[in-house]
Structure 1
Amino acid sequence: MNIQKLIYKNSYDGKGMNTIPIQLKILDNNENRMYLIHKALKQQLKNNRKRNAHSKTRSEVRGGGKKPWKQKGTGRARAGSNRSPLWRGGGVIFGPKNKQYKSKINKKEKRLAINTALANKFANTVVIKEILPNITIPSTKIAIAEIKKYGIQIEENKKYLIIVHQKTKMLHLSLRNIRNIELIEAHSINILCLLKTDIIIMTKDALKLIK
């Protein structure tokens, strides 16, 4: 395991660019890094998968409380419920059920994968002091102007990830209309959002939490 010292570009007030050193633990072997990222991505995608198809068994179908006819003497086959799988409108014997898919990955492996993904994106990461701290009404226009203040131009063909220490309602409402910008909190950072983004905008407090 190698500790690589990364230099993040930093712009606190939009006037000058400084640098912030941050240490992240990543694997030495590039092949092992890709394997770990792939493993973490598979685990996240599998845990997000759900099977919504659901059929009712005879105990879940409504009705069927009364015995259709008496047990003997009618000449017909005995029947205890009109919700039997043999009857029309009855339950299903081996139908599909709701299912939550689960996959496990070790905590250290997951952290290493996230560190590696961050290390791969550090050249396109900008650390800022804060974003829209005093906004009182949601405004997409003000949010875009705030991002441009740090020398970042919003392009339609690129995806942006904004990582904050704590997500506020006004910040969420201001950025939700921009479809190529994703806003997450630092403790919710995951491998999928890091892989699909082109530029990362991170606040100073979020960086402290990640470190």
Structure 2
Amino acid sequence: MSSSLLRATYGALSAVVSDLAPEEGWQPSGCAGWAVLDLTLHLVDDARRGLVALATPAGGPATSDAVAYWRSWQPTADQDADVAWRTRVRASVAGGFPELAAVYAELVAAVGVAAGRVGPGELVGTQGHVLRAGDVLSTLAVEAAVHHLDLVAHLDRPGPPAEALAEVRRVLEGLHGGPLPAGWDDAAAARRGTGREPLSDADRVGLGEAAARFPLFG
């Protein structure tokens, strides 16, 4: 994946974060159990992951790629609850949106520079995996795009760029092993493929036995 797509994805999300008002911090997000402020802190954490990954050369061979990375991302309900609780504690003392927005803008700008300096085929390490840098950029863009949908789920703000949602769909179809239903637009595919939106009865009929594997990652 190109660094320009990641910069566009991060830029759109950073613009939303910078526009949030203090009173919107405790609005619900599309990420179950997380308020908007909680999710914003998580966005900071993920941008920091990207910066560290792109500055962490690794020996080969690659142990994962842009699709396989997500296969291990299937947290249990207890793990989800624990992360939500710890994030809420940290978010409550994080200084609010002005501080988080400034930190996020600084981090995503730095990630964009780092992404442009690393060749897409270079191997880097992140979260115990070894991936090509281009695949790491995909994981960052996918997470940012899905969380952009989460962030604006109950707010009157623009969603992620179309090309970012297209990358989410590409990864979900890789996990699914084939095309997702043609009737799903890319935003619906992102929400249903990650369990943010339940499958309808018609979806389950169309997916057949594959419906049991949803969400494809959480």
TM-score normalised to structure 2 length: 0.23
**Relative contact order higher in (CA < 8 Å, ≥ 6 apart):** 2
TM-score normalised to structure 1 length: 0.24
Structure index of larger Rg: 1
